[in-house]
């Protein structure tokens, strides 16, 4: 943390907007869980289920896609933040970083 990271405008103001968006999505009704059928084969189902997890926000206000992330271990050090943003440059949004 640096003094520049905790400035209200634009860093914390941007984070507040991202957080409000996540909370609003959490309060929405969840989409139906995809089911394997003759038309939705197992391979297609895995893609549909990944999309489902991206759209559902869990109780900790974190997208459920967290459980199917590419890397099992969370890096020890957080990547540097994007300029005047509350998230890392490699992620592009608070939601993706979560």
- Domain edges within the chain: 3-97
Distance of CA 48 to the CA centre of its chain: 17
Cα distances from 87 to residues 36, 50, 94, 98, in angstroms, run: 36, 23, 5, 9
**Ranges of H-type helices in 28-93:** 42-55
DSSP secondary-structure letter at 83? T
- pLDDT reported for residue 34: 93
pTM for this structure?
0.63
Confidence of residue 66 (pLDDT cuts 50, 70, 90): confident
Tokens of 15: 């984070």
The whole-number average pLDDT for the span 41-65 is 89
87 vs 13: CA distance, rounded Å: 12
């Amino acid at each position: 943390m640096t003094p520049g990271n905790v400035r209200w405008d634009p860093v914390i103001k941007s984070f507040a907007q991202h957080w409000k968006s996540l909370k609003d999505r959490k309060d929405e009704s969840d989409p139906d869980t995809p089911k394997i059928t003759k038309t939705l084969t197992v391979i297609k189902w895995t893609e549909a289920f990944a999309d489902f997890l991206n759209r559902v926000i869990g109780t900790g206000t974190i997208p459920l896609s967290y459980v199917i992330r590419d890397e099992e271990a969370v890096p020890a050090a957080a990547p540097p933040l994007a300029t005047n943003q509350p998230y890392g440059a490699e992620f592009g949004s608070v939601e993706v970083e979560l």
